[in-house]
Every structure is written in C-alpha cells, then in structure tokens.
Structure 1
C-alpha cells in the first residue's frame, strides 16, 4: 500500500513541475524530502530519465538562442573554461593523494567538479573501469553540492550585485551539473540563462580530452570514449531559431516546455540523492569535493569581476 501511495505522489510531483507549479529549488528539495520519507520507487528509471530529459531540455533551450550571440558568448568564456579545468584537475589529483582517497573515486569527483558533474562522471567511469559503488558515491557527493549551489548561487549573485552576464558565466564555471547550472540561472534572468547554458555546453566538450587523459593516467586501453552528441542538436536548434525556420510562437512554446522539463529533472535529481551512500563514503571525499568547489567558485568569481 505504501509503495502504491509513494508512486502516485511521485508522479503527481513530476506533473506539478511539468505544469509550471514548482520552481527549481522547490523541485529539488521536494525530490530529496520525498526520498527521505518514502524511498524512490523508480530508482533505476530516475537515473535514466535524468540523462535523457536533461539532454532534451537543453536542446529545447537552443530554440530561444541566436547563433551570433552564442558564438560570442562561447568565445568570451573559452579562456576561463580552459584555465579553470586545468587548475581544478591538477588540484584534485594533488588533494586525492594528500587525503589518501581511492584514486578512482578522487578522479571521478575531480572530473565532475572540473567539467559537468554527473555527465562527466558517467563518461569517465567506464574509461577508468570504476566500480558501481565508487560511481554512486561520486554522483551522490556531486549531486549534494549541486543542490546547495541551486540555493546559494542566486542569493550570492544578488548580494554581490552581479549582472546577468557575470552570473551566467559564474554559474557555468562554478556549478558542477548542467541541470543545476540552468536551474540556478532560470530565476536570475533570460540573459543569465542563455550565457550559462552556452558556456556550460561548450565546457562539456572537454569530456573528450579528459577521457583521453584518464586513459593514460589509469593505463586503460580499448575503452570507448563517450562524445556528447546532443550538443550538435543544441547547435542545430540555435541555427533553426536564428534563421526563423520555425515560427516564433512555436519556438517560444518549445523553450517554455524545456524549462519545465528541466525543473522536473531537478526533482528527479533530488530523489536520487542517497544519504546512505554519502554516509558510507566517509568525510574525506566530501572534503575533497567541497575544497575543489570552493576553490573553483572563488577563483572564477575573482576572474569574472576583474
């Protein structure tokens, strides 16, 4: 009976997000609270759905962007992106050894912080042949920090009087997962959302060189590197919108639906955060992840402001 009730409530909460009744932080918190009370009745489904819904949402957001502005934004964020990734990976590898954390766990946490959270962890895991338990711990820690970022970043952005351009760039560099980057930027403004999405997706392409580096680091061979092909669809959506191939009312509708899909995705993310996995990992991996996150947040903010 309890399982049936939990399934009904779960579906109703997702529908609430899709109908536009929830904002990003609320959806994430409700997902987490739901799991604490009921346990996620669709655990395996949730992880798969997050992966697909996030990609669909991001592609849909492309219908609200213009090619010229997107190229300019990507160019502006390129230097900060490259610099921050090299620094984060270097610091992550050093701290992993200093804290005496399992090298594969430390590398997954570092990869998730440096590039794009869960997507980077999912891409790097098979390359370094990480165990399921290691992957779960890395995802749990990164998702936890993503959840905090969703609340902290907009508040700090307003406190520091950041412009939409500054906030969008900061989100893209300092928040791990694409879902939380876009979730934080949605409430800050359309310009912040455009910049955050564009820079974050250009950052996602760094999964490819990081995967190659990981092969050499862990001396693995023959593993398939995952290429984020959905970015091509995102660029295609921008081109379609830029040349007005689809009428403006239709593209506006697609963007609205995409934003709601993203909020539903954040609910799913909240429902997959495992307190059990976080407890079993001990304090050292959390110290590593928090240290890297604080470093990249402060470094990128100083860079942007100056």
Structure 2
C-alpha cells in the first residue's frame, strides 16, 4: 500500500499563528521537538491502547491531517505497507483452515463476477467521463481487487505517472474511509448475518485494512470470512497485472506478487494442524488488530486537504459510481443467495 505525499510543514509566512506554534521547535532535556510531533505521538500511543478502534484511528488520522499535519509523512508512508502485511499474517494465527476453505468456496463466484464486472464498467464510465486510460484502469483495479495494494502493483505495469498513481490512491482511500464508517451501520440496519456481512465487506470495500476494520467491528465470524475472501481476492493481482501488460502492450515490466498472503496461509495452517502453536493465536491476533488500527491511523494522517483537493471531481465520480454499483449489486446477491 502506498500513501500520498503531503507537505509536513507549511511555510512560516503562509501559516496562521496557531499553526506556526505547532511547528515551532522547542527543547526539553536536550531534545528538540515540535508540538506537531507531540500531538502525533499522543494519537499514535492512543492507537496502541484497547480503547482505540479502526474507525476511531482513521478519524484521528484524518483530524491530524486536516489540522496539525503529519510530521512523519515519509516514515508512515514507508511503514504502512509492511505493517499491513505483518498484521495480515498475524490474523492467520486466529483462523481455521477448514472454515477458511468453506468461506473461500462461498466467495469465489462473487469475486470473479465482481472483478470482471467492475473492470468492464470502469472502462465504459471512464471513457464517458473523459479520463485517461491509465487513471481509469488504476481506479477500476483498486475497486475490483484490493484498493491501494492493487494500484501499487498495477501502476508499474502500466508505467503510470506519479500524478496518475496519486489520483487513483486518493480516490480509493477516501471511499475506504466512508466504507469503514458506514458498512457496519448498514449491516446492523439490514440484520445481516456474520457470514453475509463478512462476504459483503470482502467484495465491496477496497483495502484489506478497511475490510478488517469494518468486519472486526461487526463480529469475529465476520472478520474470519472477510479476511479469507479478501486475501483470496488479492491474489487476482497477478492475473490482472499480466492481463494489463498485454492490454496496454507493455513489455519487460515486473509483476508484484503479494507474497504476504502466503504468510497468512502458513500461519492459518500452523494454527489448524499444529496444536503447539494454538496457544500463541490469541496474542498474535491481538497484535494484528493493533497493527491494523495503527495502519488506518497512518492512512488517515496521509489524507491532507491538499491531497483530497488534488484528485478532482471526475476521478471521484468514477470511483464513487463503481463503489456504489459493486456495493449494491453484491449486497443484493448476498441477501438472496447466502
């Protein structure tokens, strides 16, 4: 997963007084720091506590990005992908392989239909909106597969420009934030079962981190179903990337393989078939959930007002339309078949 770059420190002559105070250097016990760094640190520490939740962590990150700003944007951008991957592997220690196979069988038809349907719809709507082919394909792949991870993998295959990557990432991250807050509410209002909600999350929410956050808020069974189906869905990065190279006639490109998914599978198999490993499961799952909470805080802290404005209306329109169609269609099918 890749975050967008924002200016961590506004220029002094452009910043209001309270902002200048946040960025002013101070010294204590020989250490130089700013109030901006202190605020970030307090929010970060809170995300490590039991009182934090994925939606709250994302909200805190967004609040920080719109006010004080993220003083460690470069570090959090680099840490997010690794933290997400290790957290996914950690969740594997709480999964049962037999239940995962059953969940995978349930979700495979929905997965295949939604991926190809989303890519086709994205192509048609993108042409109508007059967006570039690369931006359309990046947003469509992010919606169809696994959000920022898919965009980060498909972008180099397309030889996409930095601004095209930023537009696609900004679009799916904003929609991820909306989904994280709205999906559990909709699920409870419609009285979705744990299996139904987990399957819906895995199909209709872009990023794995937001899928886990929404499903964890709904229940442990929903979390297990959502994680399994979403990671199986993420493996489609490989064939879609190969298809992208052929479609856009790109030669000599490198395909990014999501190897961390195999780490999740290994952890799940160990938890299922090696009794000595099972006592470690609860601790590993707890650490994984904390990792996802911190990941969402980092993502929110990267979505500054400058980043949100830079995307433009048409990419948001494409991303929103694709998201609404996928969400509504998958929900209808799940309600009538699962």
TM-score range (shorter-chain normalised) is over 0.9
Please report the RMSD computed on the Cα atoms of aligned residues, expressed in angstroms. Answer: 1.2
1:184 and 2:214 aligned: yes
Q: Match for residue 123 of structure 2?
A: 93
Q: Match for residue 265 of structure 1?
A: 295
Q: Structure 1: 5+ residue runs without aligned partners?
A: none
Q: Structure 2: 5+ residue runs without aligned partners?
A: 1-20, 24-33
1:165 and 2:195 aligned: yes
1:253 and 2:283 aligned: yes
Contact 1:17 1:261 in 2 (8 A): no
In structure 1, which of residues 9, 15, 20 is the aligned counterpart of residue 39 of structure 2?
Answer: 9
Contact 1:110 1:289 in 2 (8 A): yes
Q: Match for residue 220 of structure 1?
A: 250
Structure 1 window deviating more from structure 2 (97-106 vs 244-253): it is 244-253
TM-score, normalised relative to structure 1: 0.97
1:105 and 2:135 aligned: yes
SS at match of 1:38: coil
Instruction: Please identify the structure whose Cα radius of gyration is greater.
Output: 2
1:122 and 2:152 aligned: yes
Contact 1:140 1:274 in 2 (8 A): no
Pairwise CA distance, 1:249: 3.4
1:285 and 2:300 aligned: no
In 2: Cα distance, 1:149 partner to 1:216 partner: 33
Contact 2:93 2:278 in 1 (8 A): no
In 2: Cα distance, 1:40 partner to 1:278 partner: 15
Q: Match for residue 78 of structure 1?
A: 108
Moved over 6 A (4+): none
Q: Match for residue 23 of structure 1?
A: 53
**Structure having the larger proportion of residues in helix:** 1
In 2: Cα distance, 1:139 partner to 1:274 partner: 13
Q: Match for residue 270 of structure 2?
A: 240
In 1: Cα distance, 2:104 partner to 2:112 partner: 12
SS at match of 1:20: coil
Q: Match for residue 32 of structure 1?
A: 62
In 2: Cα distance, 1:93 partner to 1:145 partner: 19
Provide the aligned length of Structure 1 versus Structure 2: 306
Contact 1:127 1:225 in 2 (8 A): yes
